[in-house]
Chains A and B, each alone.
Chain A
């Protein structure tokens, strides 16, 4: 796939570059990195690759830098900082206001059976409310079904920091085919492991023992830092598994 055009903040987007949907009833969707200046100007606000989905009639700018900005619906890995009378204060990224996680936003919890989370515990949660004027709110339960959907406290394992672009790649339905992340499949053949990816650039990994957990975490971090291609990833996987 040829690389889509690079845009810098303020660049004019030629009208021909905008998606053309076969169904005119679908409105044009602007994703992150773009702003609309009425009446008809669409201008990028970050430097990155202009990506277009003709089917969904969507356009956005993809970039791999910066700090995570909470967005409603995102799955994230948060650390519990302290507990108040009715909620936990959790840290999503360093030096940002705490997100609140209500005690009752867990699956199967009542007023009598509140979850006990100590400071430092890790939770996999969804952002319920995000607004630039307010501190974010998160939840560990699907409010429609009352089920946990895999969210909740993560016990054991280790946390690894990766770039935001890498966490988006890992969250694709099929990372090895859609995101060229073959290293996980290579390692999974030899080392069984469990993994949770947060949209805020955090990855939790649990395997049998610290050494195996570290192999998986290092593999992801090395692929991220070195922008490794498919062949290089296979080499790294081989090296890490040999040292085990």
Chain B
């Protein structure tokens, strides 16, 4: 399992941006909003969310449209869309690099699941939204889990694990532990899925455990994704508020 790395607010012209690196994937996310929306897409009571996924090579196809629809329905529940009626919040996710096992030219492309990139895309979108100060109801942790032959479950799998995987699952949990995304592909039994669920929930929980430390000065950078996310955001905010150090 590899820990993610990210940089926030590094794109000058976008309202919010983030670059996210994990498991060989590298994604740039940009958020613009709330901006004016075209008459066709305007919603009278809430903000329209537009998600654009651009692949590393070539132009987007059905695979990207499918990912966009999953991300769109997830973000709709996370962003407080009632706060900005009749506006547009545009989330653009550009894939920069993919691991060799998931490239376009790979011979095994027919076996390469579109789900592999989904957790990284979701996490990039979240960081970019945080950087753009878009009001959110919660944060979330997305993880990729595979089940190999012999019912061996692995979280954030390595390329070898992916090769041996019988089924691939993507789960995202909100910080409160509510299930936001559940996408699965491959052959698996209900028992496998339940183990996968427990594993994903545990990964998200250990991240939100750190929330209790919000009023203490200790930042727990545990080997879990939720803690890593908090650490990344903390670094950015400390940099922004550096000027306050000299006051009083």
Contacts and interface: CB of A to CB of B under 8 A. Distances in A.
B241 A3 contact: yes
Given A1-B247, A63-B133, A7 B214 contact: yes
B243 A180 contact: yes
Interface in A1-56: 1-3, 5-12, 14, 16-17, 33, 35, 43, 45-49
A65 B133 contact: yes
A8 B175 contact: yes
B139 to A, nearest CB: 5
Pick from B130, B237, B246, B248 the residue with the most CB of A within 10 Å: B237
Interface string A53-67: 000000000111111
Interface residues of B, number: 45
A67 B234 CA distance: 20
A69 B47 CA distance: 14
Interface residues of A, number: 44
A10 B233 contact: no
A52 B74 CA distance: 33
Interface of B: 9, 15-16, 32-36, 80, 83-86, 130-139, 174-176, 211, 214-215, 217, 230, 233-234, 237-248
Q: Tell me if B's interface is mostly helix, strand, loop or mixed.
A: mixed
Contacts of A227: 239-240, 242-243
Contacts of A3: 238, 241, 244-245
B34 A69 contact: yes
A22 B32 CA distance: 42
Nearest to B135: A45
Contacts of A133: 85-86
Given A46-B133, A229-B242, A229-B243, A12 B211 contact: yes
Interface string A88-101: 00000011110000
**4 residue pairs, one from A and one from B, having the closest CB atoms:** A66-B133, A10-B138, A9-B136, A45-B135
Nearest to B35: A95
B137 A45 contact: yes
Interface in A93-146: 94-97, 132-133
Nearest to A133: B85
B214 A11 contact: yes
Given A9-B138, A66-B15, A230-B246, 16 more contacts: A1-B245, A5-B214, A6-B230, A6-B233, A6-B237, A8-B130, A10-B137, A14-B214, A17-B215, A45-B137, A62-B241, A67-B32, A97-B36, A179-B243, A181-B243, A229-B246
